[in-house]
Amino acid sequence: MASDKEKEPPKIGRMRKNLDRDYGCEILDRDFSMAIRFPVKNVRLITDEHITYASLSMEVTGVNEITGKSVTAFVISDRDFLEMEIQSFIEAVEKGSAKPIQDIMVSRESQKRNMINAHMRKLINDASEKVSIKVVKSSGGGQGKVRQSYTLGGRGRVVGYRPGRKGTSFGDIALVPTIRRAIQTGSFDEISGVKIKTHHVQEKIYRSRTRTHICLLVDRSFFPDNRREINTVEHLIRTVLTVAYEKRYHIGVVSYAGNSARIELPFTTDVDKGYQVLKRFEWGGLSPMASGMKKGLEMLEMVRGDRSDMVLMLIMITRGKANVPLYPGGYIRRELIHMAKLLSRSHAGTIIASITDDDEHLIKEISLRSGARFYKPPVLSDKVTLATSFLEKLGRGKDVDIVESGRRFLEELDNV
């Protein structure tokens, strides 16, 4: 969000000039975004009534067309603007409420951190629920419970049996019910014993809790002096790890920088290992984004195997740059579009968090083509790091001159 016109990208000024001040709405194909103008001086002055009028303008453009071509929305006032996820803006319009917009209009770092936590949790919950419903339907559970599924030929606790399917493996045959079925139908005599025929076979029904696996794909190509962006990446990672711990999700970490991607942490429920991986990250280098996407997708498909009752998610945190092909001489953009299409056809729900102030055309296109939820969190300033460092010194019980340390901390804070 820009606080004044001097800090605005030139394209915002062009949008403001071209759009009708009274709720002018336009789809920006090149930016994979929608722009809408509000007749207010500042975005923070938008009310529920303004949202109602905006919904009428969007109906003319076509909500389905907007969601089919956009991953973000530019909310533009006379003096500033706000870029937000298109789904969040659509939700605000459907509810007739300006609250989702106002929630994003934050200035203090503590508020930014809380907002990132809340929004990332919502994205994970939404993606998990969406994939879970699809998983339960595909495994024959209809509109069954999301947290547990009933499968044939799977793993879990045996809770019943049914007539066997053609080609049922021996390990999935319920032996006692099969013999009982044969005896009940008269296929038994004292001389030859029980004669088991194909139509006697009873197959086990398993019940297992739906397991959720999150592959956290982290771009390590941020320059080491881009401390604000790295702070934001680290905070996002901690949020995902916290959610995984609370919900007992399996978490795996893949990172990419230099010439290729690598697996930092195989899937585990030991979240502490994720924090250890974060501490040893080295930042800087080229950006092999396609390699990262390929490695993350392979990791998810490998853990899924032949199980249909698993919830898979890929959470990608990136600066949106790609300058290393999968193979020497490869066409980077074509490779990325191909990987996005593979993601869209996969069993995984995808979330892409973009940490950059530069042109996001490429990463927005990838989000659209992969069916991912696109999120652009606010960048955290160095003030948070300074405060955290000072408090950690006190918390460790080291001999610290509180007055002198506090004075230095305030001086550093003023110079940020």
> In 3D, which of 404, 405, 293 has the Cα closest to residue 350?
293
Pairing state of beta strands 81-85 and 72-76? antiparallel
**Tens-digit pLDDT profile for residues 217-239:** 999 999 988 888 999 999 999 99
235 vs 1, 223, 267, CA distance in Å? 19, 17, 20
Integer Cα distance of 319 and 360 in angstroms: 9
Q: Of 325, 321, 303, 322, whose CA–CA distance to 312 is shortest? A: 303
Residue 37's DSSP bridge partners are 76
Does domain 111-136+210-375 correspond to CATH entry 3.40.640.10?
no
Res 110 pLDDT > 50: yes
To the nearest whole number, what is the mean pLDDT of the chain? 82
Supply the pLDDT for residue 144: 42
Residue at 111: amino acid letter: Q
Q: Between residues 397 and 336, which one has the greater pLDDT?
A: 336
Q: Above 80 in pLDDT, residue 44?
A: yes
Residue 264: CB partners within 8 Å, gap ≥ 6? Answer: 218, 253, 254, 255, 277
Contact 28, 37 (CB under 8 A): no
CA proximity to 90, closest of 115, 116, 114, 62: 62
Domain residue spans in the chain? 5-105, 111-136+210-375, 150-208, 382-415
How far apart CA 300 and CA 348 sit, in angstroms, is 8
289 or 128: whose pLDDT is higher? 289
- Band (pLDDT 50/70/90 cuts) for residue 183 is confident
In 3D, which of 255, 246, 247 has the Cα closest to residue 216? Answer: 255
Asked whether residue 398 carries a pLDDT value surpassing 70, the answer given is: no
Burial track 319-340 (b if 16+ CB lie within 10 A, e otherwise): bbbbebbbeeeeebeebbbbbb
In which band, very low, low, confident or very high, does the pLDDT at 247 lie, cut at 50, 70 and 90? Answer: confident
Residue reference for tokens 């947290």:
147
Q: Tens digit of pLDDT for each residue in 127-178?
A: 888 887 766 555 544 444 444 555 555 555 666 777 887 777 777 788 888 8
* 302 pLDDT more than 70: yes
Q: Give the least confident one: 253-262, 314-323, 385-394.
A: 385-394
Q: Which of 301, 323, 320, 321 lies closest to 312 in space, CA to CA?
A: 301
Containing 245, the helix (H) or strand (E) segment is: helix 227-247
Residues in Cβ contact with 118 at an 8 Å cutoff, skipping those fewer than 6 apart: none
Q: Which residues share a beta bridge with 75? A: 36, 82
**pLDDT above 50 (res 416):** no
Residues in contact with 143: Cβ distance below 8 Å, sequence separation at least 6, in sequence order: 136, 137
Greatest alpha-carbon pair distance for the chain in Å reads 97
Q: Is the pLDDT of residue 189 over 70?
A: no
Per-residue pLDDT at 283 exceeds 90: yes
**Dihedrals phi, psi of 175, to nearest 5 degrees:** -65, -50
Residue type at 143?
Q
Q: How many whole angstroms separate alpha carbon 215 and alpha carbon 347?
A: 13
Contact yes or no for 378/90 (Cβ under 8 A): no
Say if CB 256 and CB 267 are below 8 A apart.
Answer: no
Ranking 47-56, 167-176, 299-308, 334-343 by mean pLDDT, the lowest is 167-176
Residue 170 CB contacts under 8 Å (≥ 6 apart), including other chains: none
Residues 6+ apart with CB under 8 A from 123: 351, 373, 375
Determine the pLDDT at residue 156: 58
